[in-house]
Amino acid sequence: SVKADERNSYRVYTKVMQASTRTRLTLAGELRQAIARGEFHLVYQPSLDLRTRKLIAVEALLRWQHPERGEISPAEFIPLAESLGMVRAVGAWVIDAACRQIRAWLDAGLPMLRVAVNISASHLRHLQFVEDLRTTLQQHRCPPEALMIELTESAILHIGERSRHTLAALHELGIGVAVDDFGTGYSSLAYLKLPAIRTIKVDQSFVNGLPDDANDAAITRAILALAQSLGLEAIAEGIETEPQLAFLLAAGCLEGQGYLFARPLLPDAIAALLAESRMPPTSGAAPNAAMP
Ligand code: C2E
Ligand code: MG
Ligand code: MG
Ligand code: MG
């Protein structure tokens, strides 16, 4: 009967809900211990000069290697961290790890690379944010120009007076801010005038539809024109195909990242790319390639 069906589906639904609540609770406990257990690491996605395809920056992306569940996406555990009030602890870990990595690459004699980190709104709002950041930079003797902070559009829009001061302090420190997922949030553009804001990241949902989707093409062109007329850098994200790249180049976009060029990589792979980019271009047989 319909009633029995309803009851069954209700029971199934409740079971799923209970399971996911249990999973959530377990995960929450495990997230609290993840840092101490060394289960976090950063991967670095290359960002390239689109004309030369040379590596010019990287974006640090957080990975949680769970002992039983394997890799858990930040899209899943960052919101969980938010709801548990753990965003500051996680964010501080990310900044420390990124600065440590910047120092390690510099100490290895590699050219300086700009490293972008993603920061949650509630972390940015913390009173100690800039002071903590300054301390971490000093601890690792990390030049502030080497770090960039990515904030989502909605994070910036919800900033109050305090975050306005925070952004000004970041600007003073010499740290640039990029607006992540641009175009997907609310529609106020006033914050783009803040001097701390240097970069707009064209969201991958727009890049996806290029070059054929007329709306995505129009939005992308408009974002690039806006960036250009405000004197902001633009970085396109999620570039997966040559036609997308061709469109972006024709529209005047100078920097981008995406699977067409590289997936997020481990530090050694980034170091190899950096070392490679420093070597003179090889044509034909390398001088030291001939081995007896
Ligand atoms: P996001 O900052 O917009 O990062 C871009 C996401 O798109 C990354 O996913 C990246 O791996 C993925 N991606 C890059 N290129 C391509 C491509 O060509 N095609 C496709 N389909 N995807 C591409 P990821 O690493 O899973 O991160 C997802 C989101 O999680 C990030 O979006 C960011 O909002 C958040 N996140 C990541 N790391 C951190 C972190 O350390 N702290 C905070 N607060 N959030 C983070
Ligand atoms: Mg980002
Ligand atoms: Mg993004
Ligand atoms: Mg995104």
- How much is the pLDDT for 291? 43
- pLDDT score for 290: 41
Atom of ligand 1 lying closest to residue 43 CA: 25
Q: What value does the mean pLDDT take over residues 232-258?
A: 98
Cis peptide before 211 (omega within 30 of 0): yes
Neighbours of ion ligand 3 (CB under 5 A): 180-181, 237
Residue identified by tokens 């999620």 is: 238
181 in contact with ligand 1, CB cutoff 6 A: yes
On average, the pLDDT of the chain sits at: 88
Find where tokens 């070392």 sit.
275
Identify the band that residue 156 occupies on the pLDDT scale cut at 50, 70 and 90: confident
Closest atom of ligand 1 to CA, residue 75: 30
Q: Whose CA is nearest to atom 12 of ligand 1?
A: 238
Region of residue 194 (left: phi > 0; alpha: psi -120 to 50; beta: else)? beta
Determine contact, residues 273/46, Cβ cutoff 8 Å: yes
Q: Per-residue pLDDT tens for 164-188?
A: 889 999 999 999 999 999 988 766 7
Among 118, 153, 203, 261, say which to mutate for ligand 1: greatest number of ligand atoms within 8 Å of CB.
118
10 Å CB burial of residue 178 (0-12, 13-18, 19+) is buried
Distance 82 CA to ligand 3 centre (A): 18
Q: Decide if pLDDT at 6 tops 50.
A: no
Residue 244's alpha-carbon distances to 43, 193, 212, 220, 248, in angstroms, are 24, 29, 9, 11, 6
**pTM exceeds 0.95:** no
Ligand 1 atom 6: residue of nearest CA: 238
